[in-house]
């Protein structure tokens, strides 16, 4: 039988733990274990790494390949059976927590004309990014919204929500993003089914966007006590226009091109407390420099095509492809086209990182800011 | 010689001062006076009124009549002589502090093609509302902005600013709004002329609007440490569109119709610390109910025509007319047209009132919410 | 009859108004006047001074001389007649607004054993500083507090409050500080007498101090939604101890010695939205350097003796004397004793200045930081 | 070979996933797996539980038994070898992440006279609670603090810190609390050794407490831009006094007796962004009612003795014993003594829960609020 080893993490650096196993020490360690205890120096270098160590891998999911499975699900299960008819994306390093990257869940939901899912609410914050089809809608706490291509929609922590497609619509697919894994990790996840299974529509259709989706204007004297955005749907058209407008007056970020965050218009801050989202435009031929950030990212290509280099590996993407960037991993983006711009939607956990004081970012200094690509 | 009277403010109400003058008391009061002191009960009911007492009157200035004087000023003085070539509006009750109402100053500034005023900065916060002409521009801390009809522009406390009209422009008139009187009252007013008389243009033209004037979007990760809005120009087109959009999903305010505040997109709050501004749309035939607020208001009709009833008196207005509503005075607005909407721009000191915890509002309960009009 | 003069404020400085009266201009000005208007350049240099111009004078009130008048009031009027039996202090430059300095009111209130004033509330924020006597108490929204020498007490904007002295107490004198003048200037002042004239005691005596007056500790999970401090009484003993403790680890402020602000323990900020208060200790022999600040100050000597030089004039003070420092006026303090420390209590409008973005301070550079004294 | 089972989490509840495995479906699921994907309905009921599911167990560590091991460590390793000489406590359900409960690490550190650990900093926030010995000190960013029994000390995220014991001190033991596991889970953990191994003492000894540890007072006009408390040491004497003082005016919490949070005096909020701490006093004979909270807690008995019922199991504690309460687990506390009060120190992740909008609490309704105890 193999002897237990306690000195696997030794480092020959002043200020770091560096204790070799001895018979006496090993006995001491075993004694401690029997009392639900241990010697810090046997694990200190492991639990206090020099910099973040991610369990996630960079992954890209080609939509072409996923789409057939998603549509297949339409035949295989009903929303009544499934709750929600979703194909989720699982990071090889995070399958145990059903995460696409870090503590972020994502999946592709599909609904056919006339279908309606039941209403529920949970501690997890959720968002949608609309991929294809017409007639989809979401009802969040009585605010019914029509959903169009590349619209970004919130269903925040604690809100009743349900989705459906109108009778005269087509099959619709959208991407769901949630922080379910984080809620479970934090042991804070509650779930409720709506007592009536469906909720009423209590406000004019799309009232949230008409009320709060205006540039630097808000209903006079209006207050809002919730900790998430009163604006629930961010439409694609004005978002794309904003990127073009902003592009005319900025050089853009060296790391992300023309890059804007979706914000809560009531506070100017993140739309939800735990997750944020952004849209970025890469100009024709743009190749950004590499940087890394504390935080996990799920991207979807909303327009055009190109590739990203993540952790030294190249991932080619085109419209609707989804890929992830793990925490503290170098990444850079390339728009391969000479004539067309490319847009990347992303959602991430930066609001969590920022609110806990953990956000950091670093640009790559070597090699002109470009990673060597692992072939 | 008339005897001094100290009991002029007596009230026969329990809890209020009610002390009749006696010879002994009057002697006591005079003694106190000689020591830079006094008896509170001789003034308590005056300085603690049951509700706010304004020194301002409601006034309306017809632009038709002002305009000729404003244009006359163009001939009479140069910007070099005048500093700024402005006709200010003086409330009959506030001429001593050069205020249009309460502690708010307003005036009409005029500049001809090729003119350029010198750059300065001050503790007062300032704003502009563009009335007529083409080619006007403002430069605020290096951000040069082109100014169009009904645009709303900030030149906040402490920013270098200067105005001009392009060589190929026309005569331009705009309304200035400042809190100069408040700054003087608070004994906090500083003034500086720019060392070079003019400042450089340091950013792309209109960069502030392109960067910050987008709906619920902001440059990713951007921060802003100033206590005023990074958005300096709020254009008329998207503002009017926003009012129409919002009108489709709201009943509007019973007191103000379709009513939106211009906000600082970085915080969602007031654009400057001491002054705010709003645009409101009165639907064809709309007659709002009366209310009163702690705060002073300067209005300009930006579109259409109608009238307002202020403190029981009727004031008829059409495009470009300016009128004021004093603090805690009943006011209601009427769009007289059956077919056209009417828009009122206003600026006010509500940010000051709110930040000091003093804002209050009250709707008129009697008579269906409408004031009897004094004929 | 004298001709009107409009060019009294001309300045020969580029960027400032410099227009000489002509017959044509004077006629123009009179035309404007008849329309409730004026030419800005005739007043611009007056209303936009290079730096703040105060209307207040520095004044010192010797308590020895005031005290006899205050006690005399005890005989002359009852609280029922007077509302409150107070001798107020009036700045020669601010008698019109009943202010001791700037927009701050102060007065000395006196009550005898068994007396009880009626309960009221108002928009003005109020504070007390206890000067002499035993048995005084205040009830603020049901929180009854016993008042001891040099205690600092709040009765914030909107709270019901009333004062009295226990039957077995002695004649008590305290200083009241209020922002009544500011509330009137802002046309925001409301006043109400309690419907029952007295309010109930709803909490254990001195509960506010026992609950919130502890060092960096607060009731677990407690929330507080009011915009003023939940701590209503700041006692002298721990305040003086804190000054001594702090003195052991700091050099102190060059301008104010050992200088601490009373804060709202729930936010760490000012105890009320419009007024703040401080206590400072001048070490034996300490002579601070001169500085000036945007803001008005009312001081009371709480311990020891010394003098201050304000606007170049010397004011000698000893325990209980009151003096004022106007906005943007140079001031420096001197503890004349070689062996005893001296303490100055002060209240001020810095929270108003700070929240409106107007606070500035400047140290005197010349003459080693000391003002020449006008003899 | 056993067939894969995908329908293990089915629930017969409307709105929940309820899809039985079929051959066709299982094939579909396997297809998805091969593409780093899955069907949400196979895991939905697992990852969206009705309420939080904790991986931690309630555990109590008797100090009597730990102490000998801790002292033994003193002989076995030097601080130079070990980095820090600490025995950590490991929850049986969280040994993989080296946590005592949830994402909280705790350990007992021991140092002998004249020992000095090297200086380092990390993303993890840390705190200390002093258990025994004299002469211990901590240096945090140049602020050296002397440590006494039951003092609570911060070494926040990003601060350089090091510990030691004076030459003339005794063997000292204290409890360390850190959120190392959370930092690793969030993939946000950075670690640095001080370039000089030791840092200088840059301020007077114990200056932080003398400056910021005063009741509702702070250095006048002082600002603080860090996101943690400027007060680094909270001493036991004033804390215990505060509890006694507060006890005189409150009934206390039904769940926690006399219960106070340590706060950041600059903001009134939590001392660090991710972890908070509290001290509570249980009055003689007090038996609190059961409640449960979203958040994990590590307790140490600071005074007296008693027991807690956690998740239906009884844990007896006396001074220095340590125990944990997992998230959303019922717990109630009992002071067994008729005459002595008992004090429990605790630290927890409530600041994380609150800032992310996840905090909830619930009192036990049944059985008078008392849990049945599992024998």
Query: Which site among A68, A188, A327 would you substitute to test the D interface, given the most D Cβ atoms closer than 10 Å to its Cβ?
Result: A188
CA gap C305, C145 in Å, rounded: 29
> Alpha helix locations (H) across B122-275?
180-185, 207-212, 236-247
Mean of all residue pLDDT scores within chain B: 96
Non-local CB neighbours of D99 within 8 Å, separated by 6+ positions: D56, D90, D91, D105, D181
Q: What pLDDT score does D351 carry? A: 98
pLDDT tens track for B98-132: 999 999 999 999 999 999 999 999 999 999 999 99
User: What domains are defined for chain A?
Assistant: 1-50 (no CATH), 59-369 (2.60.120.10)
| B248–A204 C-beta distance less than 8 A | yes
pLDDT band at residue B2, thresholds of 50, 70 and 90?
low
| D14–A197 C-beta distance less than 8 A | yes
pLDDT tens track for D195-227: 999 999 999 999 999 999 999 999 998 899 999
Q: What pLDDT score does C2 carry? A: 54
Tokens 């606007």 sit on residue: C311
pLDDT tens track for D143-175: 999 999 999 999 999 999 999 999 999 999 999
Using CA coordinates, name the residue in chain D closest to A71: D28
pLDDT band at residue D2, thresholds of 50, 70 and 90?
low
Non-local CB neighbours of D315 within 8 Å, separated by 6+ positions: D58, D60, D307, D308, D309, D323
Q: What pLDDT score does B352 carry? A: 98
CA distances from D368 to C87, D292, D308, D332, D372 (A): 58, 15, 16, 12, 11
pLDDT tens track for B230-274: 999 999 999 999 999 999 999 999 999 999 999 999 999 999 999
Position A1 pLDDT exceeds 60: no
pLDDT band at residue C243, thresholds of 50, 70 and 90?
very high
Q: What pLDDT score does D359 carry? A: 97
Nearest CB to D250 within list C211, C215, C221: C211
C89 CB neighbours in chain B (<8 A) are: 36-37
Against chain A, the chains showing at least 3 CB pairs within 8 Å are B, D
Mean of all residue pLDDT scores within chain C: 96
Q: What pLDDT score does B290 carry? A: 98
Position D3 pLDDT exceeds 80: no
Chain B nearest-CA distance from C239, in A, is 27
Q: What pLDDT score does C159 carry? A: 97
Nearest CB to C210 within list D220, D239, D246: D246
Chain D nearest-CA distance from A103, in A, is 8
pLDDT band at residue C332, thresholds of 50, 70 and 90?
very high
pLDDT tens track for A15-26: 899 999 999 999
| B278–A220 C-beta distance less than 8 A | yes
CA gap B43, C24 in Å, rounded: 47
pLDDT tens track for D286-316: 999 999 999 999 999 999 999 999 999 999 9
A264 CB neighbours in chain B (<8 A) are: 216, 268
ipTM, 2 decimals?
A: 0.96
pLDDT tens track for D320-332: 999 999 999 999 9
Position C170 pLDDT exceeds 90: yes
| B16–C61 C-beta distance less than 8 A | no
Nearest CB to C211 within list D220, D246, D263: D246
Position B1 pLDDT exceeds 70: no
Average pLDDT of the residues in B202-207: 98
Please report, rounded to a whole number, the percentage of residues in chain B having pLDDT higher than 90.
Answer: 96
B245 CB neighbours in chain A (<8 A) are: 210, 214
| C268–D266 C-beta distance less than 8 A | yes
Regarding predicted confidence, which is higher, D89 or D79?
D89
CA distances from B200 to A316, B74, B115, B136, B147 (A): 45, 26, 16, 17, 18
Nearest CB to D82 within list A17, A24, A187: A17
Using CA coordinates, name the residue in chain A closest to B233: A216
B239 CB neighbours in chain A (<8 A) are: 217
Nearest CB to B82 within list C17, C123, C191: C17
The mean-pLDDT minimum among A182-186, A227-231, B221-225 falls in B221-225
B175 φ, ψ to 5°? -90, 130
Find the helix or strand (DSSP H, E) in which A46 lies.
helix A40-47
Query: Three-state SS across chain C?
Result: CCCCCCCCCCCCCCCCCCCCCCHHHHHHHHHHHHCCEEEHHHHHHHHCCCCCCCCCCCEEECHHHHHHHHHHHHHHCCHHHHCCCEEEECCCCCHHHCCCECCEEEEEEEECCCCECCCEEECCCEEEEEEECCCEEEEECCEEEECCCCCEEEECCCCCEEEEECCCCCCEEEEEEECHHHHHHCCCCCEEECCCCCCCCCCCCCHHHHHHCCCCEEECCCCCCCCCCCCCEECHHHHHHHHHHHHCCCCCECCCEEEEEECCCCCCCCCCCCCEEEEEEECCCCECCCEEECCCEEEEEEECEEEEEECCEEEEEECCCEEEECCCCCEEEEECCCCCCEEEEEEECHHHHHHCCCCCEEECCHHHHCCCCCC
pLDDT tens track for A27-59: 999 999 999 999 999 999 999 999 999 999 999
Nearest CB to C218 within list D211, D217, D263: D263
Q: What pLDDT score does C221 carry? A: 84
Position B56 pLDDT exceeds 50: yes
CA gap D184, A47 in Å, rounded: 7
Average pLDDT of the residues in D129-151: 98
D137 φ, ψ to 5°? -150, 160
Q: What pLDDT score does D4 carry? A: 76
| Chain D contacts to C (CB-CB under 8 A) | 203-204, 206-207, 210-221, 229, 231, 234, 238-239, 241-242, 245-246, 248-250, 253, 256, 259-268, 278-280
Structure tokens at C199: 């309010």
| A24–D81 C-beta distance less than 8 A | no
Chain A nearest-CA distance from B180, in A, is 25
Structure tokens at A148: 């169009």
D281, β-bridge pairs = D258, D343
| D212–C216 C-beta distance less than 8 A | yes
Please report, rounded to a whole number, the percentage of residues in chain C having pLDDT higher than 90.
Answer: 97
Average pLDDT of the residues in A301-318: 98
CA gap A314, A372 in Å, rounded: 10
| Chain A contacts to B (CB-CB under 8 A) | 203-204, 206-207, 210-221, 229, 231, 234, 238-239, 241-242, 245-246, 248-250, 253, 256, 259-268, 278-280
Nearest CB to C260 within list D219, D246, D279: D219
CB pairs under 8 A between A and B: 136
Position A206 pLDDT exceeds 90: yes
Q: What pLDDT score does B374 carry? A: 87
Nearest CB to D214 within list C245, C248, C253: C245
| A48–D191 C-beta distance less than 8 A | yes
Using CA coordinates, name the residue in chain A closest to D82: A17
Mean of all residue pLDDT scores within chain D: 96
| D15–A118 C-beta distance less than 8 A | yes
Chain A nearest-CA distance from D329, in A, is 11
Average pLDDT of the residues in B67-73: 97
D94 φ, ψ to 5°? -135, 20
| D268–C203 C-beta distance less than 8 A | no
Position C112 pLDDT exceeds 70: yes
Using CA coordinates, name the residue in chain C closest to D261: C220
B205-241 burial: b if 16+ Cβ within 10 Å, else e: bbbbbbbbbbbbbbbbbeebeebbbbbbbbbbebbbe
Q: What pLDDT score does A2 carry? A: 54
| C215–D238 C-beta distance less than 8 A | yes
């Amino acid at each position: 039988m193999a002897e237990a080893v306690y000195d696997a993490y030794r480092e020959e650096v002043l200020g770091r733990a560096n204790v070799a196993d001895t018979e006496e020490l090993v006995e001491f360690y075993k004694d401690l274990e029997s009392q639900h205890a241990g010697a810090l120096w046997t694990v200190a270098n492991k639990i206090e790494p020099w910099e973040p160590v991610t369990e996630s891998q960079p992954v890209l999911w080609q939509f072409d390949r996923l789409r057939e499975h998603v549509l297949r699900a339409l035949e295989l299960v009903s929303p009544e059976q499934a709750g929600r008819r979703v194909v989720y994306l699982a990071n090889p390093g995070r399958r145990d927590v059903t995460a696409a990257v870090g503590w972020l869940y994502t999946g592709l939901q599909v609904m056919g004309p006339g279908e309606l899912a039941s209403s529920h609410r949970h501690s997890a914050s959720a968002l949608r990014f609309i991929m294809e089809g017409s007639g989809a809608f979401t009802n969040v706490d009585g605010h019914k919204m029509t959903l169009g291509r590349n619209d970004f929609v919130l269903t925040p922590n604690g809100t009743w929500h349900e989705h459906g497609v109108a009778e005269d619509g087509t099959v619709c697919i959208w991407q769901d993003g949630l922080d379910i894994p984080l809620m479970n990790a934090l042991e804070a996840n509650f779930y409720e089914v709506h007592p009536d299974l469906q909720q009423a529509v209590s406000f004019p259709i799309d009232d949230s966007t008409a009320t709060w989706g205006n540039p630097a204007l808000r209903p006079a004297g209006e207050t809002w006590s919730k900790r998430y955005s009163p604006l629930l749907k961010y439409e694609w058209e004005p978002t794309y226009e904003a990127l073009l407008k902003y592009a005319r007056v900025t050089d853009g970020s060296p790391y992300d091109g023309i890059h804007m965050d979706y914000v809560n218009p009531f506070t100017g801050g993140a739309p939800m407390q735990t997750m944020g989202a952004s849209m970025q435009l890469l100009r024709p031929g743009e190749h950004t420099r590499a940087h890394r950030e504390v935080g996990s990212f799920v991207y979807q290509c909303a327009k055009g095509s190109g590739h990203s280099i993540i952790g030294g590996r190249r991932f080619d993407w085109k419209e609707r492809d989804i890929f992830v960037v793990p925490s503290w991993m170098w990444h850079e983006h390339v728009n391969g086209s000479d004539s067309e711009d490319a847009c990347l939607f992303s959602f991430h956990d930066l609001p969590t990182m920022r609110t806990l004081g953990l956000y950091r970012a670093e640009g790559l200094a070597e090699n002109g800011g470009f990673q060597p690509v692992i072939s």
